[in-house]
Structure 1
C-alpha cells in the first residue's frame, strides 16, 4: 500500500477569533487526528501536503510527523469551501498496520463490451464504490472491473467482483454494479386525423340529407 509522509503541527489558538483565517492565510489547513484509543489532537497541515495525499488516491496511508512523533492515519474526510472549492478542514483517523478496517473503495470500469457496438447498448454504472474489510496494509485505492466480456443479458453484481487477496466484501453481494441497457426507440407521434370539411360545416335542417352522390345539392334542396 502506498504511503505518503507529511508534517503536522499542534494547533494553537483554538477558539481565538481570527485564528483560522491566519492559518489559512499561511496556506495551511486546520485538521484533527482521532481514534486509536488516544485523545483527539487538533493540528495544522500544509495545503501542499494535503494535495499530495489527494493525488495519491483514496485510502492512502498517511505517516504524519507530529512534533517528532509518528502517527499512522487515513484521511476520513476533507471539507471544501462551497464557493472556492478550496480545502478548509481535514479529519484523520489513526490506524494500526495490525488492524482490519471497513473502508469504502471506488470502482473503476475498464474495457468496452462488444454489444455496445453491435446493438447500441448503453453502459449503466449503478454502484460506483463498495465497502470492504481488510488489513490497513491491504486496503486498495480502487478496484478495476474489466467489463469487456459483458453482454446485454448478463450484468455484474457486487459478488462478481474479484477482490485482491485479503480483502473481504461487506457490501451486499447481490447489489447491482453495472449492466448494459438497450435504448428505447422513440415512438413517432400518431398523425392528426384529417379534418372533414363537411363535418366542420354542419348542414342546415333544410338541406340535410338532400345531397346527391357527388355531394351537390339536389334540385329540390336548391329550391328550398
Structure 2
C-alpha cells in the first residue's frame, strides 16, 4: 500500500500567547497524534506535508517520523480557517497494519441510467460516504458505485454496493444511497369549461333574460290552471 512520508516536530510553548501565530507564520500546522496505546502528543507538521496527504486521498496511510521514531498514522480530521480556507489544525491517529479499523470512505458515482434520458429522471445522491471496517492495508480512498443499471423503481442501498475484497460494511445495509426522481410539472391545469362558466358573474342582460323566461313560464302556468277550472 502506498504511504506518504512526513516529518513531525514536538510542539513547545502550549498555551503561550502568540505561539500558534508563530507556528502558522512558519507555514506549519499545530496537530495532535493519539492512539496506539500511547499518550497523545502535541506536534507540528508542515503545511506542504499536510497538503500532500490530502492530495493523495482520504484514508491515506502516513509514515510519520517524530523524535527519531517512525509511526504509521491516518489523518482523522483537518480543520480549516473559515475565511482563508487554510488548514489550522490536524488530528492524526496511530494505526497498526495488523488491526482492523472502522473508517468512513467517500462514494463516487459512475455511469448514467437509461431512465435519465428516457424519462428525464434526476439522480439524487443521498449518501455520499459509508462506514466500513478493514485492515489498514485494505482501506480504500474511495468506493466506485456503478449506477447504470438503476431505474426509477429501484434505487441503490448501502447493502447493494460492491465492496473491495477484505472490506466489511458497517453502515446500515438498508440505508438509501442514490435513487432516481421524476421532476414535477408545475404548470397549472386549465379549469374545466363547466366550472369556468359557473365561476363567471351574471351580466345584467343575462339576468333580465332569465327573469323574462321565468315570468313567461309562470304566466303560462296560470293560464293553464284557469282553463282547467272552466
TM over 0.5: yes
Q: CA deviation at 1:189?
A: 5.1
Q: CA deviation at 1:89?
A: 0.3
| CA distance in structure 2 between the partners assigned to 1:155 and 1:212 by the alignment | 65
**Would the alpha carbon gap of residues 100 and 209 (structure 1) be closer, same or farther in structure 2, given more than 3 Å must change?**
closer
Structure number with greater Rg is 2
Cα deviation 1:85-115 (Å, max 9, x = unaligned): 1110000000000000000111100011111
Partner of 2:26: 26
Aligned residue pairs, count: 209
Single out whichever of 175-184 and 160-169 deviates more from structure 2: 175-184
Partner of 1:8: 8
TM-score (ref. length: structure 2):
0.84
Higher helix fraction: Structure 1 or Structure 2? 2
Partner of 1:35: 35
Cα deviation 1:178-220 (Å, max 9, x = unaligned): 1111112224254595643627x9x8xxx8976579xxxxxxx
RMSD: 2.2
| CA distance in structure 2 between the partners assigned to 1:156 and 1:29 by the alignment | 40
Partner of 1:60: 60
Where does 1:81-100 land on structure 2 (aligned, <5 Å)? 81-100=81-100
Q: Which contiguous aligned blocks of 4+ residues in structure 1 show a shift greater than 6 angstroms?
A: none
Where does 1:1-224 land on structure 2 (aligned, <5 Å)? 1-188=1-188, 190=190, 193=196, 195-196=200-201, 198=203
Structure 1: 5+ residue stretches without partners: 214-224
TM-score (ref. length: structure 1):
0.86
Cα deviation 1:43-101 (Å, max 9, x = unaligned): 10011000001111110111101122101101111011111111100000000000000
| CA distance in structure 2 between the partners assigned to 1:125 and 1:153 by the alignment | 15
Structure 2: 5+ residue stretches without partners: 215-230
